[in-house]
Amino acid sequence: MTDNTNKWLEADVREIVAAQRRFFRSGATLPVRWRLKQLKRLKAAVLTHEKEFEEALAADLGRSRLEAYLCDIGPVITEINEMIAGLRRWARPERHFSGLMCFPSIITKVYKMPYGVSLVISPFNFPILLTIGVVAAAMAGGNTVVVKASSKSAACTEALKRFFAEVFPSEYITLIDGGHDVADICLAQRFDKIFYTGSPAVGRHVLAEAAKNLTPVALELGGETGNWCVIRKDADLRDAARKIAFFKLCNAGQVCININQIAVAEEVADAFLAELKKAFVTQIGEHPEENEEYPRLITASAYDKCARQADEYRERIVFGGVGNPETRRYSPTIIYPVGIDEDIVQHELFCPLLPVVPFRDAEVDALMETIAEREHPLAMYLFTKDMRWANRVMRAQQFGGGCINEVCVHMMVKGVPFNGTGHSGMGAYHGVWGFREFTHPQTVLRGSTRFNLSLREHPYSGKAGQKKMKLLKLFEK
């Protein structure tokens, strides 16, 4: 890209942001009735473009129609429905008693005010859900939105670009495509809110750029040292294997909350591995790399990285380990045994590789301590019948969200936040939490012009001061 093109792009993005700021300042996005109308328009458009989105997901990620709906399109519709149903209640100003210290100004309200012009940087792995779902939250909050979609999922980005241009004016919602250079041009502008979904490494860069303008940021990241799944010796091994196999097959492991590595009690390790292999074969067949229902890795470089990591552990691959570079499908691959300090379990994989770490069940608390010492994951999964232990772990460990004897479905529950902590992110969304993420709680006290007390006014000494002190202490009780 030439310097002239860069300068043109920068000027173009600057004008887009300026146009959206003018539109926001007009007050058009503030009425809740207007926002509801736009959300209903968004939902209708998603339903109209459903086939186009399915085709784009197939082109980019090799998704089957059912998986495209299960993981991207269906959840978007559910998310928008929840916002339409709840927005009037969420946006209602809160009324508070100001307290005797503020008498006679006894009424205070908290307004849920939009930030203004927001930037949404979306990823390649769930390009429809993690673009439209976040945009819907910003719309519910009354913001305008500039979307920077991923260049890796080119077909989906092109479909989304047409989609937004058809449904909304650019001064309200617009999508900008391009690579990292274009993302940096966007980050150089002064936005009022930034929402980024992606890797911790890029998240640091986004946060550093946002700091230059003191722009509030929400980061949804994958977790630097990966999401753990812990299987105790008392777990239902067949049930665990079935659920883990489904989840690891989903989007070929390219899921931010997917299981990055498994820790299994060595007392049941062989039995569990047998069940996991059986579950993979039952669900995807003996040659998943040839199965058209099995998604592909997003780029040739992603495929090569996966294959290269598998080759490093070739002698310990007990299942899978084969792929097709032409279709970019790499089979789910179990690597066993792996030590807890090996490199492969100390970074996010984002592919179908599944390292398995054995541990003695009696030493499970030491295992959890080691996990706790590493960067906070986005998800945690426990399989056990010992609910007292599981509940204690879930209350003590730091992670975004998780499940006991289940995988991933915690993110499908209405009314609860989806978020990370530390290296797995900051901020939260889904439903009311998305509305809160894109609004600023603005406190306004309504003053009274009658019966004002002089407590706060001088003099503070003498008899007058003594009386005021008595009253102040009385009011504070």
Q: What is the pLDDT along the chain (477 residues), one digit of tens a residue?
A: 444 445 548 899 999 999 999 999 999 999 999 999 999 999 999 999 999 999 999 999 999 999 999 999 999 999 999 999 999 999 999 999 988 888 888 899 999 999 999 999 999 999 999 999 999 999 999 999 999 999 999 999 999 999 999 999 999 999 999 999 999 999 999 999 999 999 999 999 999 999 999 999 999 998 889 999 999 999 999 999 999 999 999 999 999 999 999 999 999 999 999 999 999 999 999 999 999 999 999 999 999 999 999 999 999 999 999 999 999 999 999 999 999 999 999 999 999 999 999 999 999 999 999 999 999 999 999 999 999 999 999 999 999 999 999 999 999 999 999 999 999 999 999 999 999 999 999 999 999 888 887 788 899 999 989 988 888 888 777
Active-site annotation holds for 375? no
Tokens of 270: 């062989």
CA–CA separation, 177 vs 154, rounded Å? 9
What proportions of the chain, in percent to the nearest 5, are helix, strand and coil? 50, 20, 30
Q: Which pLDDT score, from 0 to 100, does residue 6 have?
A: 52
8 Å CB contact between 427 and 437 = yes
DSSP states along 196-247: EEE-HHHHHHHHHHHHTTT--EEEEE--TT--EEEE-TTS-HHHHHHHHHHH
C-beta neighbour count of 7 within 10 angstroms: 11
Of the CATH numbers 3.40.605.10, 3.40.190.10, 3.40.50.1100, 1.10.10.10, which one belongs to the domain with range 3-223+427-440?
3.40.605.10
8 Å CB contact between 330 and 306 = yes
Residue 264's SS3 state is: strand
CA–CA separation, 81 vs 46, rounded Å? 12
8 Å CB contact between 128 and 78 = no
Catalytic residue among 50, 220, 289, 375: 220
CA–CA separation, 463 vs 313, rounded Å? 83
DSSP states along 343-367: GGGSS---SSEEEEEEE-GGGHHHH
Tokens of 142: 């009354």
Comparing C-alpha atoms, which of 172, 140, 174, 169 is closest to residue 31? 140
Helix ranges (H only) for 220-358 are 237-249, 269-284, 300-312
Q: Which pLDDT score, from 0 to 100, does residue 101 have?
A: 81
DSSP states along 84-147: HHHHHHHHSPEEEE--GGGTT--EEEEEEEE-SEEEEE--SSSTTHHHHHHHHHHHHTT-EEEE
Q: Which residue intervals of the chain bear CATH 3.40.605.10?
A: 3-223+427-440
C-alpha distance from residue 441 to each of 25, 93, 111, 192 (Å): 18, 9, 6, 14
User: In what helix (H) or strand (E) does residue 333 lie, and over which residues does it extend?
Assistant: strand 333-335
Residue 426's SS3 state is: strand
8 Å CB contact between 367 and 263 = yes
Query: Which residues 6+ apart lie within 8 Å of 275 measured at CB?
Result: 237, 238, 240, 241, 242
Catalytic residue among 71, 186, 256, 351: 256
Active-site annotation holds for 363? no
ω into 459 cis (within 30 of 0): yes
Tokens of 283: 């669900």
C-alpha neighbours within 13 Å on the C-beta side of residue 212: 10
Torsion angles phi and psi, residue 184, rounded to 5? -65, -35
Tokens of 424: 């797995």
CA–CA separation, 292 vs 285, rounded Å? 11
CA–CA separation, 99 vs 108, rounded Å? 9
Q: Which residue intervals of the chain bear CATH 3.40.309.10?
A: 228-374+379-419
CATH architecture of 228-374+379-419: 3-Layer(aba) Sandwich (3.40)
Name the pTM for this structure.
0.95
